[in-house]
Amino acid sequence: MPSSWTTNTFPLLQVLKLRHNLLSGHIPSQLCQLKSLKILDISRNKLQGSIPKCIGNLEGTKLEKVIPSPSHMQSYKLIAEAPMEFYAEAPAASDSQWSAEVVTEVVKGVEREYTKILKLVVHLDLSENKLVGFIPNEITWLTGLHNLNLSYNQLEGEIPKLIGDMKSLESLDMSHNQLSGKIPNTMSALTSLSHLNLSHNNFSGPIPKDNQFSTFNDPSIYDYNPYLCGSPLPNMCDVLHGASESKGKEDEDGIEKVWFYFVIAIGFGSGFWGVIGTLWFKKNWRHAYFRWVEDVVDDIYVAIAIKMAKIKKKMKRNHEHE
């Protein structure tokens, strides 16, 4: 992707749709300078590297709590075609920061239409690339985001804890990555969320139960997360989670034992070869050591011989008295 795209190059750019091409390389940080950008779709390419942290700086993504006046409203229409492809037709904005938006979406084959008065980014799709690394915490700054798709990449680590701040989210797809850890309870704050897919990852622990999560009854959205438990999965948390913790404790105990024996072996080896090595290279020490050993052996032999003689003498006296 060109790194020369900045707010000076495209100061009024609101929609950037480059999906299903052969784009490669990293997502340039200069993309974050497109301050007016509201829709970004660069899915189905060959982009590599990590998601830039500066993505949270996109000004067009911030949901501001301002009461707009009718004189500042402009018409803004988005038409969506499955899967989540957005096209925009909008009149040139003057000094207005707010617009009355009519949005028609097709998400997973279901068409929805709604009207809002918002300053927001509607859609961010980075799916089906080769992105790696962690999901940056800064992505949670996109408080106006409605649809976030990070599926089919190689992202790892945990879901950012502050994802609950993205209260405008209606669709979230993080499937087919290498994400791990627990599903944060803060996601229960996403009360607008109607589509969720976390399948094909390495999540563990209980699934949140509050708010929208109580309406997600399709177990396939959590498929292929073997250590995930709770409704709607058949895995009971008290059994699976307990077994997981027990296994983790056993693994920790096993590691401690290995380290214990390893330290003993190192200590014994150091002491043994410290003595043997010294005797090997120090001839006078070696002679003195063996003389000392001989003296000790002689003393032990004499002590044993005297003791045995006393025992025999005592036994002989006892026999004569009988």
Give the model confidence (pLDDT) of 40-66 as tens digits.
Answer: 889 999 999 999 988 887 765 554 433
Whether residue 79 contacts residue 116, with contact meaning beta carbons closer than 8 Å, is answered with no
Averaged pLDDT of the chain: 75
Cα(46)–Cα(153) distance, integer angstroms: 10
Residue 212 and residue 69 share a domain: yes
Q: Is 274 part of a structural domain of the chain?
A: yes
Residue 187 and residue 66 share a domain: yes
Cα(135)–Cα(125) distance, integer angstroms: 14
Helix (H) and strand (E) counts for the chain?
2, 17
301 or 89: which carries more pLDDT confidence? 301
Give the model confidence (pLDDT) of 212-270 as tens digits.
Answer: 899 999 999 999 999 999 999 998 897 544 444 555 555 566 677 777 777 777 766 66
Which 3 state secondary structure label does DSSP give 17? strand
pLDDT at 77 > cutoff 60 = no
Residue 219 and residue 186 share a domain: yes
- Domain extent, residue 298, equals 285-322
Cα(203)–Cα(7) distance, integer angstroms: 38
Residue 165 and residue 65 share a domain: yes
Cα(91)–Cα(238) distance, integer angstroms: 57
Cα(168)–Cα(172) distance, integer angstroms: 11
Give the model confidence (pLDDT) of 139-173 as tens digits.
Answer: 999 888 899 999 999 999 999 999 999 999 999 99
Give the model confidence (pLDDT) of 92-142 as tens digits.
Answer: 333 343 344 443 444 444 444 444 433 444 789 999 999 999 999 999 998
Pairing status of strand 178-181 against strand 202-206 = parallel
Task: For residue 308, give the amino acid letter.
Answer: M
Residue 139 and residue 66 share a domain: yes
Cα(206)–Cα(235) distance, integer angstroms: 10
* Integer angstrom CA distances of residue 192 from 196, 212, 276, 289: 11, 8, 74, 83
Residue 249 and residue 186 share a domain: no
| Beta bridge partner(s), residue 87 | 79
Rg (CA), the chain: 36
Whether residue 100 contacts residue 117, with contact meaning beta carbons closer than 8 Å, is answered with yes
Whether residue 173 contacts residue 195, with contact meaning beta carbons closer than 8 Å, is answered with yes
Q: What is the pLDDT of residue 59?
A: 64
Compute the average pLDDT of residues 62-71: 38
Q: What is the pLDDT of residue 202?
A: 97
Q: What is the pLDDT of residue 179?
A: 97
Instruction: Report the domain count for the chain.
Output: 3
Residue 258 and residue 180 share a domain: no
Q: Is 264 part of a structural domain of the chain?
A: yes
